[in-house]
Copies of this chain bind each other. A is one copy, B any other.
């Protein structure tokens, strides 16, 4: 084992194929006899389906079928997207697929879809989140919520749903879930605090804005196996969902996860059931590629949320009580919502004497809620870190200092009642405080400000497995079923190389589909490097045991006295007594060979989490005439456990910060009062383009995760969490005005600057 290659910046192993156009994405493959599907989306947010007329479409040359819900061989009565790929009786959001035209060409499918007549009986749409939860409000779905259903929630985070509250509220049936987390007497703690601040914070629906719209291609093998080639974050998840939706045995569904053109949480068994349903109905290969417009309308963006939050502190800055009501818009997702995650993250990486946080998952007629990088976390951090900034200001304590005084350390009890594992909150706060930008805030020009905020993500655990195999040319193949969403494959190569004793350039990482692959859960929750990477480490070590055993016989030296360094097995202390790995494999992989193949399998099942903390400094200039916020510079410090590849780590940090800038300033999916999407294209929906993203300094902090591979942990989610509040706090520093609603668009800022009211609202 040699750690020499760990911590060295290396190019992504998938980069050459991607930059030369050689990567085959989901829409690139060809299947003989392929049919193309085009969706017919509901134009109404809430309606009863009276009839769907496909005759005109069927008369379009090339159209093979117009499919409605009744044509798909679904096996359950569930109302989740997998169980009900096409709306059955009731349409619950504008953009919901109600029919699918399948044709020999894409053009014919499109022409056909345009002339499908859908007769809808409009029902009152539920679009206002706060209205929706009031008793007696109109319901967003008349059909009863089905039992059972998907367990997609469990992919993202392992959250419990808190305690049952003794005093039940009167709530609308639109409230699908109520999560309460309570410890001590938060109200009393707040009452006894020197300073209390409060506010109501609003964040909109936000689109994941991946480059590659969703795509799935499905076909039946002659044996009857349904093969699914798809852009998904989780092949085994997709297999499970499809088996459930269509009542198929697991082994009759084979999911091939194609290289992903971005996903960020949004691609999980959403589109596969549509293509699969068509294939099962027509017994022909079917491809469904969403247009960008359909992807805006018909997929599963991040929830809008409203957070009422009150926090207090003592004079010395010690945090006391935290009290909140968090309203989470699930859209039509009856299966799960982020109310559990967001309400558990609201406390931040800080100690509180008492907490009382209630989260509500509320259905409306807007989209189906889905995951987006650190689901629920940016919203929680926006509320909390804004108020902590106010608290610091009121107490006259440096904003970083006040957080340092309350930052959790290993062993502190978290909101779930469990002790924190190793966590680098203090290290990150101390590190970013040293950055010159923080001291620069004393002498800024007018209308400029520097803000600080922190955020964290608890990380995830899921058992995983991996295989390492060494070939006769001395190169290693790492096999996993893990979808590479963020460069994890490149990390696997370094892990395997270090654990075995090989140059990372001699390691390739390949993906196996569900028919033959070792188990991996969905990529998401910042768990792949931590969990699958650990399995890769185990697999490489198991292969190393094999090569040492063989070398031991060849060299007549005990395995314990041997080491493997850059592909050579040699005696420790006598490196001239050696044999190459290539030579050993050559002696194993042949007729009459005396050694087992140099292969290993590794499994992992961590039970301790590996949270990552990221802190941000944002330097902004606010144009008081237009309300425009210009980002001048950004700093992010993050505890990454161990930076296996600093270049990729910095890429995640910068990417997360940039997406946080989108949350802060640009992005929102708006509906009109009838629930129709107003911002359904990149003309209407702004994302942070390169010229709006400032220079981002990255400070890598390494507090090794004890159970991670070489101390590494998942780092994908944390960097997005605190970016928006850092920017919001910078705006407050520049202007004295605190904005409580995202995104901070010029009109909103302009208006806030003109309002008489101060930054703090009167509590409800």
Contacts and interface: CB of A to CB of B under 8 A. Distances in A.
A596 B546 contact: no
Interface in A62-94: none
B601 A461 contact: no
A600 B603 CA distance: 9
A327 interface: no
Contacts of A595: 463, 605
Given A17-B223, A22-B222, A516-B479, A605 B591 contact: no
Contacts of A546: 603
Contacts of A590: 151, 154, 462-463, 521
Nearest to A587: B463
Interface string A534-569: 000000001000100000000000000000000000
B542 A601 contact: yes
Contacts of A465: 469, 596-597, 599
A593 B460 CA distance: 11
Nearest to A604: B596
A593 B463 contact: yes
Contacts of A249: 473
A102 interface: no
A525 interface: yes
B469 A467 contact: no
A471 B477 CA distance: 24
A706 interface: no
A600 B602 CA distance: 8
A479 B477 CA distance: 16
Contact of A463 (B31, B525, B597): B597
A436 interface: no
Interface string A584-628: 000011111111110111011101000000000000000000000
B472 A250 contact: yes
A550 to B, nearest CB: 9
Interface stretch (A387-395, A445-453, A507-515, A717-725): A507-515
A31 B475 CA distance: 30
Interface in A490-518: 508, 510, 512, 515-518
21 contacts: A22-B224, A24-B222, A30-B31, A30-B32, A157-B591, A460-B592, A462-B591, A462-B592, A463-B590, A463-B594, A463-B597, A467-B516, A477-B515, A510-B515, A512-B512, A516-B517, A519-B599, A593-B605, A594-B607, A596-B604, A599-B603
Interface of A: 17, 21-24, 28, 30-33, 151, 154-158, 221-224, 236, 240, 249-251, 460-465, 467, 469, 471-473, 475, 477, 479, 508, 510, 512, 515-519, 521, 525, 542, 546, 588-597, 599-601, 603-605, 607
